[in-house]
């Protein structure tokens, strides 16, 4: 068996056997190096170089900030804010769910944490109010995917690490598509709610709305301050993550006063665990990517796609169809680490801006977080809603279709992702 065949065979067999992606990457890379008689020192070198990036320091910062804000009672306040403004509309709780996820997206930068934190509050509330369980879980799952699009975004940090693209510019480029994604999901939720006759709550007074807004204002302020700081050049993305942690500590301890030393330590432990998992994945993926590059696989992929057609619009369609398929079976960060560089080579050859391509690819892959069989957010929401995977997948289908339609708008209209960075002169 040739080393290259062994590499892919072991990788895919390990994935199908349920082995974590990082371990599958490590096992396949080790076997390749042993069969090719290249020595394992290469693996150590490439593993270290993959993690040796200053930009990656953003990840623990934003993860910890999100955990601290959640531990400090921010989730309940965000949900109250959404209910106060949208609860009186038909399907208002579903729209409040989406709006809460959009606000939380500006804090955590990850989808799974959103699905767990927002879902633990919103899914039981929606079920008590008369929404069926599959729909409640589906709304939570799909709304959580806006997390990696609206800044800050862990996948965008990974892209910046891989390519040297400005993380700040990537953050800003994701803002408009992220807002459009939230609007799309809220609109679909409203249409379904009207069709099924889901309940609407009592309209609250403006005083109650302002009170709920005051309660959530610190959560709303964080993404505004982060984006403002990045655009103005006050701080770098890495410094922004440290600012987010300090901001979260001050708000949790001295404003909301719900954060305790015990909760803070628990958040730190979760951050260490989450960061370790991501960095292991980054390190082993860098080894895997080095092997692919040495074998000329990226060039072969680019040549293969370009041999099918040289039409820009058809190639964009093919790339998106490929990524939608990959997203169904592979976690977002792993897919980015393996596929971003070779597909970027194709994109640049047909004239796509790298920032535009990055936003398109991240949106594409986060859709996979809600598609079986490996839709992580779908599994999280399913567990909270206590429904079968089939039931929640059916309920999520209209939202997934809506997000795919939006994906193609973003893919074929570069201005949706490039307009805001250009406006700020980035």
Reported as a single tens digit per residue, the pLDDT across 194-210 is: 998 887 777 778 888 88
Q: Is residue 44 part of a domain?
A: yes
According to the model, what pLDDT value does residue 109 have? 64
Q: What is the mean pLDDT of residues 303-310?
A: 81
Q: Is residue 418 part of a domain?
A: yes
Is the pLDDT at 40 greater than 70, yes or no?
Answer: yes
Q: Which residues contact 24 (CB under 8 A, 6 or more apart)?
A: 10, 11, 14, 15
Region of poorest pLDDT, from 115-129, 173-187, 409-423: 115-129
Is the pLDDT at 170 greater than 80, yes or no?
Answer: yes
| Model confidence band, residue 43 (pLDDT cutoffs 50, 70, 90) | confident
Region of poorest pLDDT, from 26-30, 106-110, 419-423: 106-110
Q: Is residue 395 part of a domain?
A: yes
Q: Is residue 20 part of a domain?
A: no
- HSE on the CB side for 38, CA within 13 Å? 16
Q: What is the mean pLDDT of residues 342-353?
A: 90
- 23 burial (CB, 10 Å; 0-12 / 13-18 / 19+) is middle
List, in sequence order, every beta strand (DSSP E) within 220-328.
Answer: none
Is the pLDDT at 50 greater than 70, yes or no?
Answer: yes
Q: Is residue 11 part of a domain?
A: no
Distances in Å between the alpha carbon of 253 and those of 66, 219, 240?
Answer: 15, 14, 20
Contact 123, 140 (CB under 8 A): yes
Look at 76 and 294; give whichever has higher pLDDT: 294
Is the pLDDT at 103 greater than 70, yes or no?
Answer: yes
Q: Is residue 33 part of a domain?
A: no
- 103 burial (CB, 10 Å; 0-12 / 13-18 / 19+) is buried
Mutual angle of helices 74-86 and 58-71, in 10-degree steps: 70
What is the domain count for the chain? Answer: 1
According to the model, what pLDDT value does residue 223 have? 79
40-44, 73-77, 320-324, 381-385 — which one is most confidently predicted on average?
A: 320-324
Q: Is residue 47 part of a domain?
A: yes
Q: What is the DSSP string of 140-207?
A: HHHHHTTTTTSSS-HHHHHHHHHH---HHHHHHHTHHHHHHHHHHHHHHHHHHHHHHT----PPPPHH
Segments forming the whole domain that contains residue 417? 40-423
CA angle centred on 371, ends 12 and 15, rounded to 5°: 15
Distances in Å between the alpha carbon of 225 and those of 20, 28, 148, 217, 240?
Answer: 36, 43, 18, 12, 9
Is the pLDDT at 406 greater than 90, yes or no?
Answer: yes
Matching residue, tokens 């009186």? 88
According to the model, what pLDDT value does residue 1 have? 66
DSSP tag of 331: -
Is the pLDDT at 113 greater than 80, yes or no?
Answer: no
According to the model, what pLDDT value does residue 386 have? 87
Is the pLDDT at 114 greater than 90, yes or no?
Answer: no
Coil, strand, or helix at residue 35? helix
Reported as a single tens digit per residue, the pLDDT across 134-157 is: 999 999 999 989 888 988 888 898
According to the model, what pLDDT value does residue 108 have? 66
Contact 87, 199 (CB under 8 A): no
Q: Is residue 172 part of a domain?
A: yes
Contact 142, 109 (CB under 8 A): no
Is the pLDDT at 83 greater than 90, yes or no?
Answer: no
Region of poorest pLDDT, from 5-19, 100-114, 223-237, 301-315: 100-114
Contact 333, 20 (CB under 8 A): no
Contact 105, 149 (CB under 8 A): yes
């Amino acid at each position: 068996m040739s080393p290259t065949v062994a590499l892919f065979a072991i990788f895919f067999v390990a994935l199908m056997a349920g082995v974590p992606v990082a371990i599958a990457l490590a096992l396949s890379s080790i076997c390749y190096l042993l069969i090719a008689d290249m020595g394992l020192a290469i693996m150590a070198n490439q593993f270290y170089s993959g993690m040796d990036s200053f930009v990656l320091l953003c990840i623990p910062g934003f993860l910890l900030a999100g955990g601290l804000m959640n531990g400090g009672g921010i989730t309940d306040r965000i949900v109250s804010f959404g209910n106060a403004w949208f609860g009186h509309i038909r399907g208002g709780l579903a729209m409040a769910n989406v709006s809460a996820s959009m606000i939380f997206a500006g804090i955590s930068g990850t989808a799974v944490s959103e699905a767990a934190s927002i879902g633990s509050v919103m899914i039981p509330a929606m079920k008590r109010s008369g929404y069926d369980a599959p729909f409640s879980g589906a709304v939570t799952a799909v709304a959580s995917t806006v997390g990696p699009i609206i800044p800050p975004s862990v996948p965008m940090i990974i892209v910046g690490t891989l390519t040297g693209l400005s993380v700040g510019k990537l953050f800003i480029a994701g803002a408009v598509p992220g807002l459009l994604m939230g609007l799309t999901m809220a609109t679909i939720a409203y249409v379904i709610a009207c069709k099924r006759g889901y309940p609407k709550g009592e309209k609250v007074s403006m005083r109650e709305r302002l009170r709920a807004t005051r309660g959530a204002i610190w959560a709303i302020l964080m993404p505004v301050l982060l984006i403002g700081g990045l655009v103005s050049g006050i701080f770098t993305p890495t410094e922004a993550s440290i600012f987010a942690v300090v901001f979260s500590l001050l708000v949790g301890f001295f404003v909301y006063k719900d954060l305790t030393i015990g909760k803070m330590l628990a958040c730190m432990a979760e951050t260490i665990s989450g960061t370790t998992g991501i960095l292991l994945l980054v390190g082993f993926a860098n080894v895997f990517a080095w092997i692919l590059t040495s074998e000329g696989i990226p060039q072969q992929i680019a040549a293969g796609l370009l041999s099918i057609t040289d039409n820009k619009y058809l190639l964009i369609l093919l790339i998106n169809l490929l990524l939608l398929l990959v997203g169904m079976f592979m976690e977002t960060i792993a897919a980015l680490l393996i596929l971003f560089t070779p597909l970027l080579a194709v994109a640049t050859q047909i004239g796509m801006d790298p920032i535009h391509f990055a936003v398109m690819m991240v949106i594409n892959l986060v859709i996979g977080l809600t598609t079986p069989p490996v839709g992580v957010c779908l599994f999280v929401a399913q567990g909270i809603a206590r429904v079968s995977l089939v039931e929640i997948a059916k309920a999520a289908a209209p939202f997934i279709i809506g997000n795919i339609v939006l994906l193609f708008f973003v893919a074929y209209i570069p201005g949706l992702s490039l307009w805001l960075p250009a406006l700020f002169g980035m």
